[in-house]
Amino acid sequence: MGAGQSGAARPALGDGPWEPIAPDGEAFRLDGIELYEVELPLLEPFVGPAMKELSKRAILVRVEAGTTSGWGECPVPSAPHYSEEWIEGAWMAIQDFLVPALVPEKKLESPGEMAARLAVVRGHPIAKSGLEAAVIDAWCKRASIGLADWLGSPSPSVDCGVVLGATEPSQALRQATKFLGQGYQRLKVKIWPGSGLQTLEAIRGEFPDAALAGDANGSFAAASPQELSTLDDMGLSLVEQPLPAEQWLGHAGLARRMTTPICLDESIRSAFDVDLAAHLRAATSLNLKPARMGGIIQARLALDLARLHGIDAWVGGMIETGIGRAVSIALAAQEGITAPNDISASDRHFGLDITEPFEVDSSGKMALPAGSGIGTAPLDSILAAHTRRHKVVWSWV
């Protein structure tokens, strides 16, 4: 029996609770779209097999719509090492193609219509996600509803895990001790052939009961059978994206051979890939990131499909500022999330976040922000101090 043929009602785009909530019966007018490239210092460098971020650069999108405005973040890495996208390319994709695709006419009947307009541009999901988030933030604000409520029936807080930025064992152990003391419910370590296994062993030795995960960002294609079996013997909660994104059959093979749950990150580019993962039995856990899937609506559909297929799902991170983090939290609060998320407090990465800081309590939970839309916005003084470039890319008047 193929995926999705189980007889249960199959969710689809547009089935969401979002469509009936028209703000006031009038179509939504977009009056202006602005981009800000921000750069925030990171407290510590973030190093993985596919990345080395010394500071956090991101594109923030601001839309104006009548008397409301909205914010979204493209948490796009500085180099195309995670996926094809990088900051300069994302800026150009938004300015030259996505904004013109979104605003040929002024009216938008619903946020769901936006994805259809943006689909004329192939790919560029991280660029699309920030634009979509800004429009949805404004849309929800006009309807005076919080994003998490607009998406469904959220729980009031989300379970938080954290990704270590260090792979050198003693440094990673220091970070692990600190984060577990702060209440984080799961630790994730970046691994690649020849790196990270000793770190995992050191943390496992010190914290035998901690939930621990390894994220290979596709680098384990070259791993030896010995490394794979060592990895499989460490009682990990999951091993994330061992092979490159397109190696579906390879992941299905690993899932058969290994006892550790295989989780997919880079492979899941849209909700259709959730069906594929289920059909091929290539994963039993999914890292869902709104940015990687082109936005929160696609990510919400992916979550519904994961639930339909009985696959674990949780929300991953892209070192978001508070703007992107607010979107991740709204998704992580939905039904179907079955494991701790890579959603850490603002002070995990930043001395000063762009928004009011998000905090994690001593049991590793983060409360949903109150208020309508994403529930937060950039603080003017911090935005001004950390903006590298600003451009009004479209204005109706």
Query: Could you list the active site residues?
Result: 190, 289
Q: How far apart are CA 157 and CA 370, in angstroms?
A: 11
Based on the shown chain and the rule CB under 6 A, indicate whether residue 217 belongs to the binding site for ligand OSB.
yes
Contact region with ligand OSB (CB under 6 A), list: 144-152, 276-284, 312-320, 386-394: 312-320
Q: Which residue is nearest to ligand OSB (CB)?
A: 317
163 binds, among Mg ion, ligand OSB, none (CB under 5 to 8 A by kind): ligand OSB
273 binds, among Mg ion, ligand OSB, none (CB under 5 to 8 A by kind): none
Based on the shown chain and the rule CB under 6 A, indicate whether residue 169 belongs to the binding site for ligand OSB.
no
Q: In terms of CB distance, is 56 or 142 closer to ligand OSB?
A: 56
- Shortest reach from residue 220's CB to ligand OSB, in Å: 13
Spell out the residues 6+ positions from residue 24 whose beta carbon is closer than 8 angstroms to its own.
142, 143
Contact region with ligand OSB (CB under 6 A), list: 32-40, 222-230, 314-322, 362-370: 314-322
What residues numbered 18-57 form the site for ligand OSB, per CB under 6 A? Answer: 51
Contact region with ligand OSB (CB under 6 A), list: 36-44, 149-157, 222-230, 313-321: 313-321
Q: How far apart are CA 346 and CA 353, in angstroms?
A: 6
Count of residues that interact with ligand OSB, criterion CB under 6 A: 13
Alpha-carbon distance values, 217 to 49, 105, 191, 354, 379 (Å)? 6, 40, 8, 27, 33
Report strand pairing: 212-215 vs 187-190: parallel
* Strand partners of residue 71: 62
318 binds, among Mg ion, ligand OSB, none (CB under 5 to 8 A by kind): ligand OSB
132 binds, among ligand OSB, Mg ion, none (CB under 5 to 8 A by kind): none
Q: What b/e sequence results for 117-151 when a residue is b if at least 16 CB atoms lie within 10 Å of its CB, and e otherwise?
A: bbeebeebbbbbbbbbbbbbbbbbbbbebbbbbbb
Q: Which of 53, 64, 159, 215 binds Mg ion (CB under 5 A)?
A: 215
Q: How far apart are CA 175 and CA 170, in angstroms?
A: 9
What residues numbered 100-159 form the site for ligand OSB, per CB under 6 A? Answer: none
What residues numbered 233-252 form the site for ligand OSB, per CB under 6 A? Answer: none
Based on the shown chain and the rule CB under 6 A, indicate whether residue 293 belongs to the binding site for ligand OSB.
no
- For the four alpha carbons of 317, 321, 327 and 330, in that order, the dihedral sign comes to positive
What x-and-dash track marks residues 337-376 binding ligand OSB by CB under 6 A? -----x-x--------------------------------
- Shortest reach from residue 284's CB to Mg ion, in Å: 16
Based on the shown chain and the rule CB under 6 A, indicate whether residue 82 belongs to the binding site for ligand OSB.
yes
- Shortest reach from residue 188's CB to Mg ion, in Å: 8
- Shortest reach from residue 164's CB to ligand OSB, in Å: 9
Q: How far apart are CA 176 and CA 156, in angstroms?
A: 27
Q: Which of 265, 273, 275, 312 binds Mg ion (CB under 5 A)?
A: 265
**Site of interaction with ligand OSB (CB under 6 A):** 51, 77, 82, 163, 215, 217, 265, 316-319, 342, 344
**Site of interaction with Mg ion (CB under 5 A):** 215, 240, 265
